[in-house]
Structure 1
Amino acid sequence: MSLTIYGIPASRAIRPLWAACELGLSFRHVSLPYEGGATRTADFLALNPNGHIPVVVDERPEAPGGRVVVWESMACALYVARHHGVADGRRITPATPAEDAEALRWSFWVMAEAEADALTVLMHRMAMPEARRKPELAEAAERRLAVPFRVIEQHLREQAERGHEYLAAERFTVADLCAASVLNWARPSKALMQAHPLTHAWILRCLDRDGYRAARELG
């Protein structure tokens, strides 16, 4: 089998790249940016007609056409963890139906409840040139994010009472990877981080991993 991941770390492609690095996989990385028309070529659109990164291409002789093509960043990360990891209770792959359910629900949850507003905070608090930032957009996004942050803060509190530091288990799993990859974008909001200390500490714990650092270093 041969795995190829298209995209750059400074994008949603960080999710499957991080998953692959956590698992120590050997894979081909195509450093494809989201700007400049690179995702609008005929070859790339044949992989993802939406014209977005990331895309995961998994060469599998038993699959139709000899390969599996996955797009949408959370789907890519979950696919890599499920089909290239080992469900041994040590790695990021869910080892039980309960862990798998946690990975699915937190991945869908964070996209539906937090991603758009977290990205707004990132852009208007830090990423955009200062002259283009609109603090009022960041402030409105932070007010909305207070709701999902309360949800995950409560879950992390309940997990801590069980002696667990992560969302799905006592170890880091793909559930944490997917959720932290989004909520990390909200870290420029000091108010949100101060109001939700368990969540802030959990985000930092997730980012302080060799797998994340290795993924960030990919060109």
Structure 2
Amino acid sequence: MLTVYGVTRSRASRIIWLCHELDLPFKQVPVIQAYRLEDADAPGAPLNTRSESFLKLSPAGAIPVIQDGDLVLSESLACTLHLARRHGQPLGPADLVEDALMLQWSFYAATMIEPDALVILFNHRNGQAQPGAAQATVAHAAERLVRPLRVIEDHLARHGHMVGGRFTVADLNLAEVLRYAQGHGELMEPFPAVQAWLSDCQDRPAFRKMWQERLAEPE
């Protein structure tokens, strides 16, 4: 059985959402981020990203990690792409062209969107910018996101989905990255196709199931 290492309040959410989409059984080992603990090295501390047993799986000390048979794989987008490819359509690629496009859009999400989207997430709690320097930090991050969001807006307005005219792992990966910035209403407002697509992605039963599991975890 597939094993997913990581709490759902992490990038493991991407893998768990995909597993629910695929009806793929998995075991979840709730490894928590060390920075969330007062003393990650204390005796009796919960399993975390600095725990010796976890570092044997992930020398980088980062979640998520999956174990799929003999394969141990880190990096959340690599994990989702692997599982989608292994389990096939409709979420995985139908051919090499679709495979390449799924890689393209996943890398685009990771390189062009995620860094600034995370800045917004951490400095724009509950849709409101934090006081002081955080306001300028959020404004600059939002400004940098306008160009990649225009690219995605144009693509979705013409195609409806990222690859193949259907919901795939490319949509899932991009939606999970864009989720970090979606609370910034002023940023998202000029992009109606992105907003509608993101709403459709998050209305999927598999996403809702993952999200309920995420909310059930301690903050």
Name the TM-score, length of structure 2 as normaliser: 0.86
- Which has the larger displacement, 125-134 or 197-206? 125-134
CA separation in 1, counterparts of 2:157 and 2:175? 16
1:52 to 58, 62, 74: 62
Q: Indicate the residue corresponding to 1:202 in structure 2.
A: 197
CA separation in 2, counterparts of 1:152 and 1:131? 30
Q: Indicate the residue corresponding to 1:189 in structure 2.
A: 184
Displacement after TM superposition at 1:169 (Å): 1.9
Identity of aligned residues (%): 38
Q: Indicate the residue corresponding to 2:134 in structure 1.
A: 134
Question: 1:107-122 alignment to 2 at 5 Å?
Answer: 107-122=106-121
1:69 to 67, 72, 81: 72
Question: 1:143-154 alignment to 2 at 5 Å?
Answer: 143-154=143-154
Q: Indicate the residue corresponding to 1:169 in structure 2.
A: 164
CA separation in 1, counterparts of 2:73 and 2:212? 23
Unmatched 5+ residue regions in structure 2? 41-47
Q: Indicate the residue corresponding to 2:43 in structure 1.
A: none
Q: Indicate the residue corresponding to 1:86 in structure 2.
A: 88
Displacement after TM superposition at 1:130 (Å): 4.8
1:40 aligns to what SS in structure 2?
Answer: coil
CA separation in 2, counterparts of 1:6 and 1:216? 17
Unmatched 5+ residue regions in structure 1? 60-66, 160-164
Q: Which amino acid aligns with 2:99?
A: D
Cα distance change of structure 1 residues 213 and 69 upon mapping to structure 2, 3 Å threshold: same
CA separation in 2, counterparts of 1:26 and 1:133? 45
CA separation in 2, counterparts of 1:158 and 1:140? 29
CA separation in 2, counterparts of 1:16 and 1:5? 8
Name the TM-score, length of structure 1 as normaliser: 0.86
Alpha-carbon contact 2:6-2:12 (below 8 Å) kept: yes
CA separation in 1, counterparts of 2:141 and 2:122? 11
**CA RMSD, Structure 1 to Structure 2 (Å):** 1.8
Number of residue pairs matched by the alignment: 202
Q: Which amino acid aligns with 2:138?
A: A
Q: Which amino acid aligns with 2:84?
A: A
Q: Indicate the residue corresponding to 2:155 in structure 1.
A: 155
CA separation in 2, counterparts of 1:33 and 1:12? 11
Displacement after TM superposition at 1:19 (Å): 1.1
CA separation in 2, counterparts of 1:3 and 1:73? 14
Q: Indicate the residue corresponding to 1:40 in structure 2.
A: 50
